[in-house]
Amino acid sequence: MAKRNILRFGDETLRKVCRPVTEITPQILTLLDDLAETMHKAEGVGLAAPQVGVLRRVAVIETEPGQLIELINPKIIAYSGEQEGVEACLSVPGRQGMVTRPMNVTVQAMNRRGETVEITGHELLARCFCHEIDHLDGVLYIDRVKR
Ligand code: ZN
């Protein structure tokens, strides 16, 4: 595993739409490992591949210590409710803003074994699902800040 550099707001790469993963290659597994290590070192709760300069639909989330969630080609298949809360991003250091997100979000994704999984998150995890999947489409939370 290796720590990678996190791109900062202003880098064009963060605004690109990422390509889906078509095959779980050793490179994808290494990417997952590196994303987790980089997220842990930066003390974040989520990190998406474009944030380390890789334009693939891959992200990791860890809102509960030790409960790493790895997402390949994630998509939101259901959501409900609403929450307003403070959001921040490792690519936009030193800033935060209020963003409205769904309270409950169900994501379908592939895991590292290539199996399709569905995960439902509430509150912070629901917010992270939205935030990280936004990254895969070149969207940053600051685009959604109301104030
Ligand atoms: Zn972010």
pLDDT, tens digit (0-9, with 9 covering 90-100), for 3-34: 899 999 999 999 999 999 999 999 999 999 99
Contacts of 144 (CB under 8 A, 6+ apart): 99, 100, 134
pTM of the model: 0.97
62 a catalytic residue? no
Distance, CA 11 to ligand 1 centroid (Å)? 13
Whether pLDDT at 76 is above 90:
yes
Question: Average per-residue pLDDT in the chain?
Answer: 97
Distance, CA 140 to ligand 1 centroid (Å)? 7
Distance, CA 95 to ligand 1 centroid (Å)? 11
Place of tokens 């064009």: 12
| Active-site residue, from 62, 70, 87, 132 | 132
